[in-house]
C-alpha cells in the first residue's frame, strides 16, 4: 500500500532539491528565459544532485531512473529511484522547468537507456547525457507511424530519416533514436538506437524558438546514412509481431510520471504565489468552511488545489508502482493526463486572478506567473499529448487494442 507521506529516507533529498530550486533555479529563471539557447553552465555544478537521486534504484548510473521488469516476488514495498526522482523533480520544477530539462545527464534518453539497456550498455553509457528522438514531421503523436529507417549492414545499422522536437538534443552526448527495421511490419519493427553525437551523417538542422521552457534547447536532426554499431540497439533486435513494440514503449512507463512530476512542481508554484497575492490583498481562506461562502478567488483556488492533489497522488502512485515492478502503463498515462491538464488550467487561472500582476513580466514572485503560464503548456504536450493519454487510458480500461480504438 502506498503511503501518502514523503518517505523519511527521501526528506533530506527533497529539502536539498528545494534549496537548489530557491537559490539557483528560481533566482535565474527569468535570466535564462530571456537568453534563449544560452547554456546554463552553472548547472554542471548541480548535476550531481540528480545523479544521487537514483543511487538506490534501477537506474544503473545512466542518469535518470528507469522501469525494468523482472519476475522477482518482492516481499516488501519499496520506495526507490522512481519515487525519489519524482519527488526531487517536483521541487526543482517549483523553481524552473526549463532549467530542470537543461540539467546534464538527466535527459529523457537516459530514462530510455535505464529502462531497456543490457548490463554492458548500462556500463558503457554510464555518466553520459542522452536525449531522446521520437517525433518526426510526418507522424506527430503517433509514435507507431515512425518512418526513420534502420537497415542492418554488417556490424552496423544504417539510419535515415528526420527527427524534430528533441529536448536537449544539441547539448546531450547521446541521442536515443527511434527507427523501424521494416515499415511493412508496422509497430513491431520499431526499435531504439543510441547514436553518439559527432557520428557522420547525424546533422543538427536547427534549434527551435519556443513559447516556454526557453532555458532548454529543442533540436531538429537529419539522419543521412548514419552508421550505428549493432551493440547500440536497445532491447531485443528480433522483430516480434505478437509483442509489438512494447519494449520501446516501456520507456514511457517511466518518463510520463517524470513529466507529470514537472507539472506538479509548476502547479504548486502558481498556487503558492497566487495565495500570497490574495493574502496581501486581505483575502483569506478558511478550509473549515464550504467554498460557496468564501470569496470567488478563494473558492476558485480551492477547486484548483483539489485538482493539484489528485494529480500529485496519481503521479506518486505511478512512480511507486514502477519501483515495485508493477505494470503501471495505465497509471502513468492517467498521471500524465491529469497533471498536464491541471498545470495548464491552474497557471492560466492564476494569471487571471492576479490580473495585471500576473500578466506583467518580472524577475520574481508574481512577475513569474506569465512565464509559468508559457512553460505549462508543453507539459500537456510532450511525452504524449493530452488526447493520446486519454486514448491510452480508454484502451486500458475497456480492454481494446490500438486497432480497435483509435
Residues with catalytic roles: 383
- Rounded-to-integer distance, Cα 110 and Cα 105, Å: 7
Nearest to 332 by CA among 226, 399, 256: 256
Half-sphere exposure (Cβ direction) of 227: Cα atoms closer than 13 Å: 5
- Would you give the distance in Å from CA 259 to the centre of its chain? 3
The phi, psi pair for 152, rounded to 5°, reads -70, 130
Radius of gyration of the chain (CA): 21
Contact criterion met (CB below 8 Å) for 140 and 147: no
Chain centre to alpha carbon of residue 41:
21
Cβ neighbors of 345 (< 8 A, separation 6 or more) are 304, 307
Alpha carbons within 13 angstroms on the beta-carbon side of residue 281 total: 15
Which of 190, 83, 189, 66 minimizes the C-alpha distance to 118? 66
Torsional sign, CA 262, 266, 272, 278:
negative
3-state secondary structure (DSSP) of residue 395: helix
Amino acid at each position: 500500500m502506498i503511503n501518502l507521506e514523503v518517505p523519511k529516507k527521501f526528506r533530506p533529498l527533497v529539502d536539498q532539491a528545494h534549496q537548489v530550486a530557491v537559490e539557483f533555479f528560481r533566482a535565474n529563471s527569468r535570466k535564462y528565459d530571456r537568453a534563449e539557447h544560452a547554456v546554463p553552465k552553472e548547472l554542471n555544478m548541480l548535476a550531481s544532485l540528480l545523479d544521487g537521486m537514483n543511487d538506490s534504484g534501477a537506474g544503473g548510473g545512466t542518469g535518470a531512473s528507469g522501469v525494468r521488469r523482472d519476475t522477482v516476488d518482492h516481499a516488501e514495498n519499496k520506495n526507490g529511484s522512481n519515487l525519489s526522482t519524482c519527488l526531487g523533480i517536483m521541487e526543482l520544477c517549483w523553481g524552473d522547468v526549463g532549467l530542470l530539462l537543461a540539467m546534464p545527464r538527466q535527459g529523457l534518453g537516459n530514462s530510455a537507456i535505464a529502462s531497456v539497456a543490457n548490463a554492458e550498455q548500462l556500463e558503457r553509457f554510464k555518466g553520459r547525457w542522452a536525449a531522446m528522438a521520437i517525433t518526426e514531421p510526418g507522424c506527430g503523436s503517433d509514435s507507431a507511424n515512425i518512418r526513420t529507417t534502420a537497415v542492418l549492414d554488417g556490424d552496423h545499422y544504417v539510419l535515415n530519416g528526420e527527427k524534430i522536437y528533441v529536448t536537449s538534443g544539441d547539448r546531450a552526448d547521446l541521442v536515443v533514436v527511434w527507427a523501424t527495421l521494416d515499415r511493412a511490419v508496422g509497430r513491431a519493427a520499431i526499435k531504439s538506437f543510441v547514436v553518439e553525437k559527432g557520428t557522420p551523417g547525424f546533422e543538427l538542422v536547427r534549434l527551435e524558438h519556443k513559447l516556454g521552457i526557453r532555458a532548454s534547447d529543442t533540436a531538429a536532426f537529419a539522419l543521412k546514412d548514419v552508421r550505428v554499431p549493432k551493440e547500440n540497439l536497445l532491447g531485443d533486435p528480433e522483430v516480434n509481431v505478437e509483442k509489438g513494440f512494447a519494449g520501446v514503449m516501456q520507456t514511457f512507463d517511466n518518463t510520463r510520471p517524470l513529466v507529470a512530476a514537472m507539472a506538479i512542481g509548476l502547479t504548486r508554484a502558481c498556487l503558492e504565489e497566487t495565495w500570497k497575492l490574495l493574502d496581501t490583498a486581505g483575502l483569506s481562506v478558511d478550509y473549515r468552511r464550504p467554498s460557496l461562502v468564501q470569496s470567488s478567488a478563494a473558492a476558485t483556488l480551492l477547486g484548483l488545489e483539489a485538482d493539484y492533489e489528485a494529480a500529485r497522488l496519481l503521479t506518486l502512485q505511478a512512480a511507486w508502482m514502477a519501483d515495485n515492478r508493477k505494470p503501471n502503463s495505465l497509471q502513468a498515462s492517467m498521471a500524465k493526463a491529469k497533471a498536464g491538464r491541471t498545470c495548464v488550467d491552474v497557471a492560466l487561472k492564476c494569471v487571471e486572478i492576479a490580473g495585471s500582476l500576473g500578466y506583467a513580466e518580472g524577475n520574481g514572485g508574481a512577475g513569474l506567473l506569465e512565464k509559468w503560464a508559457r512553460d505549462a503548456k508543453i507539459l500537456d504536450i510532450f511525452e504524449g499529448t493530452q488526447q493520446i493519454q486519454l486514448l491510452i487510458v480508454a484502451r486500458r480500461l475497456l480492454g481494446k487494442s490500438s486497432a480497435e480504438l483509435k
